[in-house]
Structure 1
């Protein structure tokens, strides 16, 4: 055989090596090109869903950057949005829509998207960078108060809203019951035992937080199967949009039947939660992380969840939400958190643990040393804390910035979906800037921990804007809000909306629910909001503006129904005085007007679908395959927004909503019962008995929850015209 010349051999080796390097570089270039192409394609698809045919006026380009960034400019009649990934591209699109098109995108699929006839040009190039890498969204409770009945139709648009606002860490806990079903079967539980452990669909958020078991269960198997399919769709789209979905981990919550079948476990019954009737029936069991079984369950769950849904190595684990820990000993708390983390890391070496701080503010017994022991039981950087209610209490200030662990500044806004006229733009704007300056390098992001989707969506949009180096002052942001509501620049509207923010939405509340949506009585101690007079003035000014925009009309309804509820409160106080003074004639007059106000509020809220119960009930019933199943889901849907649990003195009205169907068919009948009973007592010369009335009221509530009371919906009217009539009727 021919022996090549040594120099040729060296040359050939070098040539082959160079070809390999070139080939590798080409493959890398192709891969990078494909990634860029995927980001652009994902952003284009989102734009088509949002803009329809007008998506052709927008061009997306991929740029290299170690930070999230987007730029806007116009070129040859097109708006060019350049960004480092699809998520930033979506954020850039939303910035363009809000600030150039005066268009706000709602998180509700059925709210209209109102665009200008001609998409405006960007006169000067804009470049905006993210200053915080984490943008968290959602709350366990949101999955009960707002999301339980959604299908892919609603979720697809909702995920688009997240991307448009730069959300990249959504809580993604749909479908986890299918995972747990498979895990508990491996540990010896049968179908009935597992499904009876789970709560009903609307209550799964609290079951997942180890608050209670079984209530409104057993959970239908068909529900679990369909939720599993839905979760796969949700995660696929979230990952396409460069999000890191936060999946679940094992916190220690085990079924009672599991404890019975595995003797000798180190566990405890958690403290009672929720004031249930027959509390032992719903009480949870908590397995200690020091028990060898804990790590086995953690591994089984993480492996099964990863098989079903994949993983992004981010897990929410909340072992003590609104329940007492098994001990407050600092060494034991450190051992407990270390055990939870080590079991998680053994199942996924790249795991990060995300935990909400709510319980450490809410529950007694927690102090700095105990929290420090718990948080530092986890390696630094592996535990991410959600500072849960920062518009009210910023825990980072009293915990040395969570003792060095990364934390996310969160805006909560509402409890159960009931505190509607609250959107503190001043606190969001200023508190986040202050945190950025003073909290330290472990301040890692912002988040929205809303318990329910709220009508004041613009406050959440502002929150996520604050994660970027957005230009403009607070007043300029409020002006932009007015522009989006009107669909144009209108100085009169800007003045009205600035007043709305400053005199109503920014004012701290002493309570976060409205008087009407609470059980009637003679001894209630609530007070009128300090903004009552301002609300009346601004409602009048708002209805004198002129816009066809859906957001404007919703605002008219929102402030108007609050004005009516405050007026109702004044009438109630006068009614109580008339009762104490034995003034029967005045009681009848006031009682009649109280009923009339509630009927008018029902008519006003019927003017906009966001205040309608009809969608909530129809979506719930759509999950049923039979009349029996449809009724089961509707009972879940009715109960959680009214009585909540199964007890006269439980969480009644916690999630009360100013919805047309509830106002007409639930709140008005209850208040009518109260008025009629008080009048009857004075007519017969007897004393009103509060305890007796509460029992009567509870009987009606239970009938409503069990579908024995039909829901009536008022006729839809024009909100501006009706508002003018009501202003004249009650406030002129």
Structure 2
């Protein structure tokens, strides 16, 4: 990795800019910054204030961490991509500058629309330059690489090509004026995938043509599934990077596209040789990094492989050996076989879905649970996962493998997926029993389902990285220490971080938002309390309806 995104410290720079250069108050900024768990969406203009107010200690902490991160990244020869002004501003700026061209963004997932300053307004360049000057003075900008996403899941106010080109030209002009010649603006191409009806070829070309040649680099963010380089003929000769999203929302579950990834990279390399040579690298842009390590191993190995890896059977065998053994050791055949089964199962996804199959354990209870872009039906034979788990579990007790951290992790990971798949089958039995008005069968299916939920909680709890308590503890420890006891975090700040940590992995947004469970986790403590209790209440309520001979009112239960 040589081009990491470096967004830490952004709020510190904005605090300096808006309070010292544009006379806004800390209170007014409190209505702008989101809580810490939601800052990535705040940076992209999707939301303001949600999960806030952002504590002053967090802002100072981000400044300190950014210095540490950049120092180490630069020591390794990396070129960090720093934040820049994308036009999103605090609501209070409208009162401070009543003649400024400030508008509401198109809105995102039911959250309150954010405010943006038109790039054609002279105030845009003033704010953009002030931000970059303070950023560069504090952290250095020698790499001259910046990130600013104007339209991440937001629709531009106009599809006029002249407007789009002028907007991106204005953004780049600010970057170049402060950072100098050779400045590169890095843009996420997710918008092209998310809103294809808006981003037609003329609009894409206009957006790309605002900066000078070579001034913009597009991340083909989901290229392993929805490659935007194809309809854009290699991004119309502008530099682009084949990027991947192996995880959405941090959701738990085994998921990957080994074959599709290799085919996609091969196709991109082949096309690049004939349509402009504008492919500049490979990358990963996951929303979490705790899942599916096999996918990252395969991806980054392709940097050194041309053409891409062709024999995945051999490669997976080598992967198992690397994962479980040291030099000179022999990997057990059962471990290799287990991973070959997983390659043919959860790591062979070809259909359209974002992330793993939705776990019914984590779903809001219903006859037909809904998970947005993650279907709940399996695209593979669940016996493949069950057999892989069995193979790893039946290794002899004297095998050196059973003491390996990677082995213990994988036994838990694969086991949780196997149990999740069993829960899916028991839920289907419950639905059938309800349709047949068979109370005895429904209760039996419910007992089995809840027993699986409990077993999943027990298994997940064997891993420190799968514990709700650790998640909450880590969040609370981010708080500043109280003056009376340096080891004890200040209570209000620690409580806010705990609320953020819990909110992210449960409701995410407000109660009736479609974002609920977007970031669910199959973790010990969360499964056994929150998920178990929801399903227990649901099975009891449905059984009571069956017993009384009335229809179950699902909408009433949900409310």
User: TM-score surpassing 0.5?
Assistant: yes
- RMSD over aligned Cα atoms: 1.7
SS of equivalent residue, structure 2 residue 361: helix
SS of equivalent residue, structure 2 residue 526: helix
In structure 2, the partner of 1:618 is 473
Asked if 1:335 corresponds to 2:166, the answer is yes
SS of equivalent residue, structure 1 residue 517: coil
TM-score (norm: length of structure 2): 0.90
Asked if 1:391 corresponds to 2:224, the answer is yes
TM-score (norm: length of structure 1): 0.70
Aligned length: 524
Distance 2:324 2:53 in 1: 48
Larger mean Cα displacement after TM superposition, 573-582 or 503-512: 503-512
Distance 1:178 1:332 in 2: 32
Distance 1:475 1:286 in 2: 50
In structure 2, the partner of 1:465 is 301
Gaps of 5+ in 2: 371-375, 480-488
Question: Residues 338 and 387 of structure 2 are in contact (CA less than 8 Å); yes or no, is this contact kept in structure 1?
Answer: no
Displacement of 1:360: 1.3
Displacement of 1:510: 5.2
In structure 2, the partner of 1:533 is 383
Displacement of 1:639: 0.3
**CA shift digits 1:275-312 (9 cap, x unpaired):** 24xx3xxx211111111111111110000001111112
Question: Residues 221 and 242 of structure 2 are in contact (CA less than 8 Å); yes or no, is this contact kept in structure 1?
Answer: yes
Question: Residues 35 and 51 of structure 2 are in contact (CA less than 8 Å); yes or no, is this contact kept in structure 1?
Answer: yes
Displacement of 1:368: 1.2
Displacement of 1:613: 2.1
Displacement of 1:260: 1.6
Displacement of 1:486: 2.3
In structure 1, the partner of 2:17 is 183
Larger mean Cα displacement after TM superposition, 615-624 or 456-465: 456-465
Counterpart of 1:315 (choices 143, 146, 152) is: 146
Question: Residues 82 and 147 of structure 2 are in contact (CA less than 8 Å); yes or no, is this contact kept in structure 1?
Answer: yes
Gaps of 5+ in 1: 1-166, 696-732
Displacement of 1:671: 0.8
**CA shift digits 1:579-617 (9 cap, x unpaired):** 122211111111111111000001111122232223221
Asked if 1:581 corresponds to 2:419, the answer is no
Question: Residues 298 and 347 of structure 1 are in contact (CA less than 8 Å); yes or no, is this contact kept in structure 2?
Answer: no
Distance 1:562 1:476 in 2: 24
Asked if 1:306 corresponds to 2:156, the answer is no
Counterpart of 1:521 (choices 366, 369, 378) is: 366
Question: Residues 640 and 655 of structure 1 are in contact (CA less than 8 Å); yes or no, is this contact kept in structure 2?
Answer: yes
In structure 2, the partner of 1:706 is none
Distance 2:511 2:114 in 1: 18
CA gap 1:458/1:524 in 2 versus in 1, 3 angstroms: closer
Displacement of 1:426: 2.3
Distance 1:485 1:531 in 2: 25
Distance 1:240 1:313 in 2: 17
Displacement of 1:505: 1.1
Displacement of 1:433: 2.8
Question: Residues 417 and 453 of structure 1 are in contact (CA less than 8 Å); yes or no, is this contact kept in structure 2?
Answer: yes
Displacement of 1:419: 5.4
CA gap 1:510/1:670 in 2 versus in 1, 3 angstroms: farther
Question: Residues 363 and 517 of structure 2 are in contact (CA less than 8 Å); yes or no, is this contact kept in structure 1?
Answer: yes
Distance 1:390 1:456 in 2: 18
Question: Residues 216 and 636 of structure 1 are in contact (CA less than 8 Å); yes or no, is this contact kept in structure 2?
Answer: yes
**CA shift digits 1:235-267 (9 cap, x unpaired):** 000000000010001010011100121011123
Question: Residues 169 and 245 of structure 1 are in contact (CA less than 8 Å); yes or no, is this contact kept in structure 2?
Answer: yes
Map 1:5-84; keep pairs closer than 5 Å: none
Question: Residues 337 and 388 of structure 2 are in contact (CA less than 8 Å); yes or no, is this contact kept in structure 1?
Answer: no
Question: Residues 105 and 115 of structure 2 are in contact (CA less than 8 Å); yes or no, is this contact kept in structure 1?
Answer: yes
Counterpart of 1:502 (choices 331, 344, 350) is: 344
Counterpart of 1:409 (choices 242, 248, 262) is: 242
Distance 1:549 1:427 in 2: 30
Displacement of 1:453: 1.4
Distance 2:135 2:550 in 1: 63
Asked if 1:635 corresponds to 2:499, the answer is yes
Displacement of 1:331: 1.4
SS of equivalent residue, structure 1 residue 392: coil
Distance 1:491 1:559 in 2: 17
Asked if 1:206 corresponds to 2:41, the answer is yes
State which structure, 1 or 2, has the greater radius of gyration over its C-alpha atoms.
1
CA gap 1:448/1:461 in 2 versus in 1, 3 angstroms: same
Asked if 1:344 corresponds to 2:175, the answer is yes
Distance 2:317 2:432 in 1: 44
SS of equivalent residue, structure 1 residue 466: helix
Question: Residues 252 and 291 of structure 2 are in contact (CA less than 8 Å); yes or no, is this contact kept in structure 1?
Answer: no
Asked if 1:361 corresponds to 2:193, the answer is yes
Question: Residues 247 and 291 of structure 2 are in contact (CA less than 8 Å); yes or no, is this contact kept in structure 1?
Answer: no
